Homo-oligomer: A and B are copies of this chain.
Amino acid sequence: MNSRTPSFDDLDRKITTALMANARTSFAEIGAAIGLSATAVKRRVDRLRETGVITGFTATVRPSALGWRTEAYVEVYCEGAAPPRRLAEVVRNHPEITAAMTVTGGADALLHVRARDVEHFEEVLERIRTEPFIRKTISVMVLSHLLPDSPEAGATQAAPE
């Protein structure tokens, strides 16, 4: 589930890069760029989806346009041992949590939170704090972004072996 997909060649890499840049690029156009027919490109894309390299196609949205103007990272400290399974349940209770992961360092988990404004963020934070085994939280508010909104969930290029 975590290993490098076998037989992922240079053409697959170029196709993937093209679709990350614009998911609506036609197979014919991609094919023209890399010297393949639209059919061949389609078949490769199908295979990339089957093997889980490409997990989906989404529209990227400017969060502020939807009313999400406040963003923060929240370090979470738990009472005693924090089983990741229980943590995952807790996390799913709060739709404002857009990413959550276990991490090294003092904290048990790191959450990415979006809220409408600071008032809303405070409310979310209090809600999280009342969860059973959460002992402490440390929040870091995001002030401004130094890169254009990158697809945080994925690197923009394929890494060489």
Contact with B along A86-106 (1 / 0, CB 8 A): 011001100111111111110
User: Shortest beta-carbon distance, A58 to chain B, in Å?
Assistant: 5
- The residue that A2 contacts in the complex, of B69, B112, B143, B161, with Cβ under 8 A, is B69
How many copies the complex holds: the figure is 2
Contact with B along A109-147 (1 / 0, CB 8 A): 110101010000000000000000000000011111111
Residues in B neighbouring A145, C-beta threshold 8 A: 99-101
Assess the B156–A98 pair: CB atoms within 8 A: yes
Q: Can you list 10 contacts pairing A with B, beta carbon distance less than 8 Å?
A: A4-B64, A16-B66, A53-B66, A66-B159, A68-B155, A97-B147, A98-B151, A99-B147, A103-B142, A151-B151
Residues of A in contact with B (beta carbons under 8 Å apart): 2-5, 8, 13, 16, 19-24, 51-69, 73, 84, 87-88, 91-92, 95-105, 107, 109-110, 112, 114, 116, 140-147, 149-161
